[in-house]
């Protein structure tokens, strides 16, 4: 009998200590971020992480719980991205995930989160396939069909370009998709694609492709590539004497475009997600002030969208009144007129954000706002 009593006492102590432990685990809302902090597109991840951290300063709690952030570096690699999502779910036990920055890596990580019923919000993955057939994957950026059509419209209608050439990075789903959407829209308007040349991420020499484009005598060159490839291409185009306007995409909006390209990227036009001059919401004003105070840098597109992914996610948690994946997912899918940093955002069952885009160009070594494209 004494042994039985001792055993019961031991069990009661185990349960006594187990209950507070479980309660402590639920005191925080755990948000994982998988972003490219190193590698060819590290600038995107670094900016988005800074944006998430600034947003966390503004809104550090949700439902009375502290928001606990976990970061895993994807190293700009698809396999690393998939592994990062798996780690965040299994090791860190996150309730939701922010990431990835680029479409290819989000396509690698998204299915893992979807299967585990962990809501994922990408700040800047614009390829339509990112959310296709996935219930738990969302984004706070516009998608590439809209971006490609906007670029084609501006090039044809405003710039008066009738012949376009394309230089596209075939190693990136995002770049290939955008090139196709631009070409389709430009041709539909009555324009002609006179040359299409290909490169790959981390290429250094683009002279052969640019020489072929030069021979085709286009009115505009469309380069829907990441900042490094766009910057190097522009430098080599200038060296060849190829003096044709360059139109790029949202992947160009990183300071590295200017630091690498220098004077050769002056005049480059691109569709973007955010311009300080167009930021109107109270949240945007608060965010810009906080971000610039914390980092000493000017707020830009990728950090703003990192913040928007965070704010949209916490808004969904508040409306769901729960940290359970299915309930957060339902709330995300019913996001209406959220006054985000980058503008009003609506999200539906397809996981895609309906929002405006901005047109920017490089002038005097700075990104300057030109216009807004309504969606």
pLDDT, tens digit, for every residue of 331-364?
Answer: 999 999 999 999 999 999 999 999 999 999 999 9
Q: 100: cis peptide before it, omega within 30°?
A: yes
Contact present, 147 and 179 (Cβ < 8 Å)? no
Percent of the chain's residues with pLDDT above 90 = 91
CATH number, domain of 34, equals 3.40.50.2300
- Give the domain range for residue 283: 24-142+278-355
Q: Of the candidates 20, 120, 76, which has an alpha carbon nearest to the alpha carbon of residue 328?
A: 120
Residues 172 and 321 in one domain: no
- pTM for the model: 0.88
Q: Is residue 83 part of a domain?
A: yes
| 3-class secondary-structure state, position 360 | strand
Residues 240 and 304 in one domain: no
Residues 324 and 208 in one domain: no
Residues 299 and 243 in one domain: no
Residues 97 and 196 in one domain: no
Residues 266 and 345 in one domain: no
Q: Is residue 115 part of a domain?
A: yes
Residues 136 and 152 in one domain: no
Query: Hey, what are 96's tokens?
Result: 């939701």
Query: Hey, what are 110's tokens?
Result: 């998204």
Q: Is residue 152 part of a domain?
A: yes
Give the lowest-confidence range in 5-19, 92-106, 162-176, 286-300: 5-19
Q: Is residue 14 part of a domain?
A: no
Q: What mean pLDDT is predicted for residues 117-122?
A: 98
d(CA 230, CA 212): 17
Residues 181 and 204 in one domain: yes
Residues 164 and 267 in one domain: yes
Q: Is residue 5 part of a domain?
A: no
Residues 153 and 129 in one domain: no
Partners of residue 372 on adjacent β-strands: 358
Provide DSSP, 168-207.
EETT-HHHHHHHHHHHHHHHHHT-EEEEEEEE-TT----H
Q: Is residue 47 part of a domain?
A: yes
Q: Give the angle 30-36-41 at the CA atoms, nearest 5°.
A: 155
Residues 224 and 243 in one domain: yes
Q: Is residue 4 part of a domain?
A: no
* CA distances, 175 to each of 29, 181, 199 (Å): 35, 10, 10
Instruction: Assign 102 a pLDDT band (cuts: 50, 70, 90).
Output: very high
Q: Is residue 221 part of a domain?
A: yes
Contact present, 351 and 244 (Cβ < 8 Å)? no
Q: Is the pLDDT of residue 2 over 60?
A: no
Residues 298 and 251 in one domain: no
Based on the structure, what is the number of domains in the chain?
Answer: 2
By DSSP bridging, strand 353-354 and strand 357-363 are: unpaired
Query: Hey, what are 295's tokens?
Result: 């980092």
Give the domain-ending residue among 251, 272, 293.
Answer: 272
């Amino acid at each position: 009998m004494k042994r039985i009593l001792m055993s019961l006492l031991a069990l009661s102590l185990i349960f006594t200590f187990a209950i507070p432990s479980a309660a402590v685990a639920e005191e925080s809302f755990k948000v994982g971020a998988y972003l490219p902090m190193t590698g060819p597109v590290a600038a995107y991840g670094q900016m988005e992480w800074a944006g998430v951290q600034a947003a966390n300063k503004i809104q550090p709690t949700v439902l009375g719980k502290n928001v606990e952030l976990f970061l895993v570096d994807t190293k700009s690699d698809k396999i690393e991205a998939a592994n990062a999502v798996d780690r965040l779910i299994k090791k860190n036990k996150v309730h939701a995930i922010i990431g990835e920055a680029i479409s290819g890596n989000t396509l690698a990580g998204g299915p893992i989160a979807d299967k585990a019923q962990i809501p994922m919000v990408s700040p800047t993955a614009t390829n339509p396939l990112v959310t296709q057939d996935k219930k738990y994957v969302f984004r706070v950026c516009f998608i590439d069909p809209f971006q490609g059509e906007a670029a084609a419209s501006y090039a044809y209608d405003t710039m008066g370009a009738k012949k376009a050439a394309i230089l596209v990075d075939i190693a990136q789903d995002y770049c290939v998709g955008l090139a196709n959407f631009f070409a389709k829209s430009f041709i539909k308007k009555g324009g002609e694609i006179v040359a299409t040349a290909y490169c790959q991420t981390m290429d250094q020499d683009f002279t052969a492709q640019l020489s072929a484009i030069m021979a085709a005598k286009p009115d505009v060159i469309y380069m829907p590539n990441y900042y490094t490839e766009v910057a190097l291409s522009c430098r080599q185009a200038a060296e060849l004497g190829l003096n044709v306007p360059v139109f790029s995409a949202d992947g160009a909006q990183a300071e590295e475009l200017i630091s690498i390209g220098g004077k050769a990227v002056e005049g480059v036009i691109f569709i973007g997600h955010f311009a300080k001059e167009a930021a109107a919401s109270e949240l945007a004003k608060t965010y810009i002030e906080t971000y610039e105070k914390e980092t000493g840098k000017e707020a830009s597109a990728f950090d703003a969208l990192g913040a928007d992914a965070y704010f949209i996610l916490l808004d969904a948690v508040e409306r769901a009144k729960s940290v359970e994946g299915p309930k957060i997912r339902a709330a995300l899918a019913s996001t209406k007129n959220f006054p985000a940093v980058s503008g009003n955002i609506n999200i539906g069952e397809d996981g895609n954000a309906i929002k405006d885009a901005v047109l920017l160009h490089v002038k005097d070594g700075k990104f300057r706002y030109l216009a807004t494209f309504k969606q």
